[in-house]
Structure 1
Amino acid sequence: MRTQPPVRPEPRTRTLAAPPSLTPLLARGALLSPLKRPRPDASAPATRLALSGVRVDLAHLATYERVCGFATGADALPVTYPHVLAFPLAMRIMAGRAFPLPLLGLVHTSIEITRYEETAATSEYELGVQVEKLAPHRRGTQATVLTEARAHGELVWESRSTYLARHRPRDRNPGQDENRGQDEDRVRDPQHAPPADPATTPAAPSPEGPKPLPAVADWCLARDVGRRYGAVSGDRNPIHLHPLTARLFGFPRAIAHGMWTVARCLAEYGPRQSVRVRAEFRAPVLLPGTVTYAARGSSFELRSGDRVHLTGDVRPQGPRGA
C-alpha cells in the first residue's frame, strides 16, 4: 500500500516592517551552505514572509528597464519587475537555517509568471513569498518558491520559480553517470563547457522534432551585463560578476542572470497586459557573447548556434478565478 505524503499545513505569515538588507543575507547563505545536506523529504520552511506598503522607486525602475531593454516612462511595471521587488524576501527565506537547500550552487531552472491585471508603477503593493514545496529531481532536490503581489487586497501578479540543489539521489545506482550528457558535451567543446548541471545540456533540435523558431535579432552582450543587472536586482552572485569569480565555480567566463535573459526576451516580445509567461533556463549565457533571439507566435527562445539557452512562451491570461 502506497503511503500518501503528509498534508502540509498553511504557512504562517510573518509581516516585515522593512525590506531585508541583501548583503548580510547573501553572506549568511554562503556561510550556512556547507552545513546543509539537501534531500527531497526535508521540511520546507513553514513561514510566509510579507511586506506591505511597497512603493516603486521610479528611478530604480527606469534603471531596470534600461538594463533589460524595456521602454521607459510608462505607468506599468515590466512583467518581470515584481520578482526584483520581492527578491529580498525570497533571499531572507532561502538564506535561513530552515531552508534545507544550500544557497551556494542553487540553480534557477524555471519560472512561471502570471499577471492578472495591469501592475501600475504608481500603485502600492503587498508582497508575499513562501516555499511552496520540495520535490525530488533526477539530479537532486528542487524547491518551488511562490511569490505574490497584491494591490488593494487583490492578487494582481504571482510567480513560481524552481530552484535545483544538485546532489546524487538516494535511490540512484552509484555506478550510473548522471552527468553523461554533460560529459559528452565537454569532450566536444572543452573550452566552453560549464560545470555539469541541468542548465548546461545542449538542446539542438532533433531531426524529427519541430523546426527551430525563426531568428528575430542577434544581440551582442557586453561583459558587464551581469554586473549591471546585479546592481539593479540585488542578485550579486559571483558567477555573474567577473571571470575570476565565475571560474571559482567552474565557468570559463561570467554568465548572464537567467532573469535578465527572460526579461530581455520579454522586452523584445512586446508589452502585454494580462499574461502568463513560462520560461525554462536550459544553458548559461557566457559573457561577453552573441546570442540570437527567436520567436514565433506565443513562443520564444534564446540560442547561440544549436545551443538553446532559454525557451518560453507568453499567453493571454483572464482575471483570477475566470
Structure 2
Amino acid sequence: MTAERRVTRLSAPPRLPAVLARGAFTSPAKRGPYGGVRLPDERLVLPDAATDTRHLRAYARVCGFPEPGEGTPLPPSWPHVLGFPLAMRLMAGRAFPFPLLGLVHTGIELTQQRAVRAADRPEISVHAEHLAPHRRGTQFDVVTEARLDGRLVWHSRSTYLCRHGGRDRQEGGAGGSGRDDRPEPPAPLPVRDHWRLPSALGRRYASASGDRNPIHLHPLTAKLFGFPRHIAHGMWTFARALAATGAAVEGEQVSARAEFKAPVLLPTAVAFGCDEPTASAGSYRAPVRVHRFELRSGNGEGDGSPGGRLHLTGEVTSERLPSSARDRSSRNS
C-alpha cells in the first residue's frame, strides 16, 4: 500500500506553530458532509530526523523515563514526537477531509524492533489509512515509521475519530463495518502508584513534545472546545504508563497498545494500575515480560483500592535481548 503512495520528501521538520495555525484556519471548511470522502494518498518523509537533546531531557522528566545519557536508548514513545510535526502537516492540509480541531485520539499501537538512540538520525515517514465508519462518526489511522539504513526499527498506528452524526455518520465515507466492537472493560488492576497531576502538566508536556493543542494548556482555552477544564495529553498518559512499567531498557524490543477511554481533567489525582508481568522465553531465550496497565481516577487516599473512572487501558510486551543479539541487531540495521 505505501509503495503506491505519492511521496513528499521534506528537507526539515514542519514548523509546528505554522502547521497548527493552518489547521485551525482550514478546520471550519471541513465540517462535512463526509459521505464518500477519501484520505490523501500522500506519504510524508523526513530523511534525517534529529533529536533535540534539550527537549528529550524535558520529555523524559515529565513522562517519568530515566534521564537520557549518551548512547542510552530513547523512550519507546519518543519517535512519536519526531513524527508528530509530519502528522500535523498531513492532517492540516487542504486535501485532508477532516478538521484538525476537534479530532479525538482514541488509541495507539507501537512496535520497537530495536532501541533508537539520541545520536541516531532515522528516516521518519507518516501516512493515513484505514478510513472506517464508527458509531460516533468516522475514524482513521495515522501510521508513523522510523527507519535506520533502510530498515524499519519502529512503527506506530494512532487511531483518530472525527465525531459527526446523522445519515452521514452511517455512510462513514468508507463503507465496511466499524471497529468499535470492544469487550466489556476488565476488572480493575492492582493499584501500584498514585500520581498527582498539576495544572501545568499540559504546558510542560507541550513544551517538551511540541503538541500545543489548546485543550491541554489552560482552562479558558479548553472551554472554547467544550471542556470544563484543560485535559492531560493522551500521549502523556501512555508514555507515563510505559515508563512506570519499566519498558525502556537498553536492548529491549517493545510492543505496546493503549486505548484512551476518558479525558483526564487537570489538576487531579489518578491511580496507576498494573498487574504482575507474565513471562515466557523470547526469540533469543531471553524473558518476555507482558504487563497490562490502566489509569483510573483516584485521590491516593484510603486503602488504595481501585475502581475510579477508567481513563486509559493498555498492554506492553518487552523482551530484553542478550548482548550478542543486540550486537547482531545493531549490525543488521
What TM-score bracket applies, with the shorter chain setting the length? 0.7 to 0.9
Q: Are 1:27 and 2:21 an aligned pair?
A: yes
Query: 1:115: Cα distance to partner?
Result: 0.3
Q: Are 1:237 and 2:213 an aligned pair?
A: yes
Which stretch has the larger CA shift, 104-113 or 265-274?
Answer: 265-274
Where do 1:221-300 residues align within 5 Å? 221-270=197-246, 271-272=248-249, 273-296=252-275, 297=277, 298-300=291-293
Q: Deviations over 1:10-68 (max 9, x none)?
A: 21111101111111111111111111116263111111000012221222211110111
Query: 1:152: Cα distance to partner?
Result: 1.4
> d(CA) in 2 for partners of 1:62 and 1:247?
31
Query: 1:211: Cα distance to partner?
Result: 2.7
SS of residue in 2 equivalent to 1:99: coil
Change beyond 3 A, Cα 1:138–1:125: same
Query: 1:234: Cα distance to partner?
Result: 1.1
> d(CA) in 1 for partners of 2:36 and 2:132?
8
Identity %: 57
SS of residue in 2 equivalent to 1:170: helix
Where do 1:1-322 residues align within 5 Å? 10-36=4-30, 37=32, 39=34, 41-74=36-69, 75-170=72-167, 210-270=186-246, 271-272=248-249, 273-296=252-275, 297=277, 298-304=291-297, 305-316=307-318
SS of residue in 1 equivalent to 2:316: strand
SS of residue in 2 equivalent to 1:54: coil
The one-letter amino acid paired with 1:253 is: R
- Does the CA-based 8 Å contact 1:40-1:134 persist in structure 2? no
Q: Which runs of 5 or more structure 2 residues have no equivalent in the other structure?
A: 171-181, 278-290, 298-306, 322-328
> d(CA) in 1 for partners of 2:160 and 2:15?
22
Q: Which runs of 5 or more structure 1 residues have no equivalent in the other structure?
A: 1-6, 174-202
- Does the CA-based 8 Å contact 1:138-1:169 persist in structure 2? no
- Does the CA-based 8 Å contact 1:38-1:102 persist in structure 2? no
> d(CA) in 2 for partners of 1:58 and 1:9?
33
- Does the CA-based 8 Å contact 1:41-1:135 persist in structure 2? no
RMSD, aligned CA: 2.2
SS of residue in 2 equivalent to 1:311: strand
Change beyond 3 A, Cα 1:40–1:61: farther
> d(CA) in 1 for partners of 2:121 and 2:209?
19
Partner of 2:301: none
> d(CA) in 1 for partners of 2:49 and 2:204?
23
- Does the CA-based 8 Å contact 1:39-1:140 persist in structure 2? no
The one-letter amino acid paired with 1:268 is: A
Query: 1:111: Cα distance to partner?
Result: 0.3
| Length-normalised TM-score, structure 1 | 0.82
Aligned length: 281
Instruction: Kindly report structure 1 stretches of 4+ aligned residues shifted beyond 6 Å.
Output: none
> d(CA) in 2 for partners of 1:279 and 1:237?
20
> d(CA) in 2 for partners of 1:290 and 1:19?
35
| Length-normalised TM-score, structure 2 | 0.80
> d(CA) in 2 for partners of 1:11 and 1:26?
24
> d(CA) in 2 for partners of 1:262 and 1:312?
8
SS of residue in 2 equivalent to 1:124: coil
> d(CA) in 1 for partners of 2:274 and 2:222?
30
- Does the CA-based 8 Å contact 2:131-2:138 persist in structure 1? yes
